[in-house]
Amino acid sequence: MRTRTSRIPAAAGLTLLMGTCAALAAPPGPLPYGSYDPGGYYEQPSAEVTIEHIFLPWEDVSLDSLAAADSYALERNRALMITIEPWTWSRDERNTPDYLRNGIASGQYDANMRAVCEVIGTLQSPVSVRWGQEMDYEDGQFIWSGWTPEDYISAYRRMIGICREEAPRINAIWSPLGLEGMERYYPGDDYVDLVGLSIFGYQDYEEGVLGRALSFEELLTERYARAAQFNKPVVVAELGYTGDAAYVADWENSVRQPQPDMPNLVGVVYFNQQEVYPWPNGFGFPDWRIDSRVTGEPVVAAAQTVQPDQPVEQLAN
């Protein structure tokens, strides 16, 4: 449920996310930590921040930005996680879901992926590539969401195969939101090095829809259980939270703590930007930015009926 700014200050990666980590202004704990950080909050080098995340469309983009991101990450001893989104960021020039799906199947977009990955293959930082994220959540934001599992799997395999030809040292991240049924989109062990998840805590939304706030552990537990079945390292590839001071402090003190029942959890990556795509039920655009995420008055929005057997994590993105 996120859209990015076009600024690429640095890159993010994961060398399988097995490094040491601790932080200047990072949440407390030993779990490896990084961020998508277009505002430069973590610009100063810190042993606490070891992953730099960038988003990149494969149309209408200057690939010179990847070299700049590589230099930025190297100077700070960070790995790069690069999310490649198969579209343009110019909203009025985007294709339809059918056009994109058919174009990938026909080979029309092979050159787009190859061009990006040719440059990735020249980078010196450790790089993980995350393509076509959150395919399991059809809310209208991403034109690659809501495809049949067969179509998505075919597209993902084709694109990761091309990228590995040009950049054989990458780690491939398959990154659903983490909802029930996400396993139907799993492309197979040969195409996945890590499983990514997205976890966002929005106090106003949770209290308005569920009647109570949720903890990081609550949202993580269900999604991790679904990811763990693949026996791959798991990373929270997009993380954000906003609410009152107590809510934010609870999440802040939890997100980097080891989870004894989650041995494959290898890192968390914060999404340090304001939301651009609106949350449902009139809850608007939560601000995940670290300097702005503590809120005052709650948002008043339309109520939603909660079914007794509806998993709480399906009601919070």
Please name the residues in contact with 286: beta carbons below 8 A apart, sequence gap of 6 or more.
Answer: 200, 202, 204, 205, 240, 242, 274, 275, 279
pLDDT at 262: 98
CA 121 – CA 3 distance, rounded (Å): 26
Q: Provide the residue type at 150 as one letter.
A: E
Cα 276 → chain centroid = 15
Q: Are the CB atoms for 70 and 124 separated by under 8 Å?
A: yes
177 pLDDT tier (thresholds 50, 70, 90)? very high
The helix (H) or strand (E) run that includes residue 129 is: strand 127-131
Backbone angles phi, psi at 27, to 5 degrees: -60, 150
The domain segmentation of the chain, as residue ranges, is: 15-315
pLDDT at 48: 95
Task: Tell me the whole-structure pTM to 2 decimals.
Answer: 0.88
CA 204 – CA 221 distance, rounded (Å): 21
Q: Provide the residue type at 171 as one letter.
A: N
225 has pLDDT over 80: yes
CA-based end-to-end distance of the chain? 7
pLDDT at 300: 54
- Measured CA distances, 42 to 29, 100, 124, 260 (Å): 17, 35, 21, 28
25-65: pLDDT as tens digits: 799 999 999 999 999 999 999 999 999 999 999 998 999 99
Cα 215 → chain centroid = 19
Strand partners, 130: 83, 173
Both tokens assigned to 159: 């694109």
Q: Which residues of 161-191 are buried (b: 16+ CB within 10 A; e: fewer)?
A: ebbbebbeebbbbbbbbbbeebeebbbeeeb
CA 25 – CA 283 distance, rounded (Å): 28
pLDDT at 302: 47
* Mean per-residue pLDDT, 2-13: 40
CA 51 – CA 267 distance, rounded (Å): 9
Q: Are the CB atoms for 146 and 97 separated by under 8 Å?
A: yes
Q: Which ranges of the chain does DSSP label H, i.e. alpha helix?
A: 64-75, 97-106, 110-120, 149-166, 203-209, 216-228, 245-252
272-299: pLDDT as tens digits: 999 989 999 999 999 999 999 999 866 5
Question: Per CATH, the architecture of 15-315 is what?
Answer: Alpha-Beta Barrel (3.20)
79-133: pLDDT as tens digits: 999 999 999 887 777 889 999 999 999 999 999 999 999 999 999 999 999 999 9
Question: Any idea how long the chain is?
Answer: 317
